[in-house]
A = this chain, B = another copy of it.
């Protein structure tokens, strides 16, 4: 089993629950933090001391308080530590059950496990920890269809950018101008229209408003 694990979770009682679980699993060195920034510093420290953490279990949403944070969310933390300490294993433990954020965590940041906080959350977390230890991955049943082929929509970063700009109030013409300025291709109004039309069809949206509402609900933006 893992010898050294870090828990990043801002709610005390859950933090405690996970700690208890790890103890039962026989992890000798368990450390806890309630802020993402503290998590990063502890990990950094452990590497410098040549006694690195083997696993990080982190939440996604950390409530903001008086302390200003460099890494405001679990995702920002995961992105940072995975880019700097690529071998460090990460399991995300969150209430988030929208598929797209989960997909991003696996595809972009290569986490080892995703567990939804729910009635059987700790049970699934156990499975995820074992999977990570065996160097495989684990996906909570609530979001198990995040990678099912049926709804594997082919949405790329360009699409996301388009939808994001739309939802931020830019007109298609303004987006076109922006992309030309930043040399993002395709940038023509016509191409943008075409792409948005494709997205409308994919998501069964009647119009652009509907489309943005749908992808916001899905967590794409």
Contacts and interface: CB of A to CB of B under 8 A. Distances in A.
Interface residues of A, number: 36
A99 interface: no
Q: How many copies does the complex hold?
A: 2
Contacts of A170: 206
A171 B210 CA distance: 10
Interface string A190-221: 00000000000000011111101100110000
A23 to B, nearest CB: 14
Given A119-B34, A206-B169, A213-B212, A61 B95 contact: yes
Contact of A213 (B17, B97, B118, B167): B167
Interface string A90-127: 00000101000000000000000000111101100000
Interface stretch (A8-16, A36-44, A47-55, A153-161): A8-16
B122 A213 contact: no
A168 B122 CA distance: 37
Nearest to A215: B213
A180 interface: no
A61 B98 CA distance: 14
A171 B95 CA distance: 34
A29 interface: no
Interface in A1-32: 10-14, 16-17
Contacts of A212: 209, 212-213
A158 to B, nearest CB: 18
Contacts of A167: 209-210, 213
A80 interface: no
13 contacts: A11-B121, A13-B16, A65-B119, A167-B210, A167-B213, A168-B213, A169-B207, A170-B206, A171-B207, A208-B209, A209-B212, A212-B212, A213-B213
Interface of A: 10-14, 16-17, 34, 61, 63, 65, 95, 97, 116-119, 121-122, 142, 166-171, 205-210, 212-213, 216-217
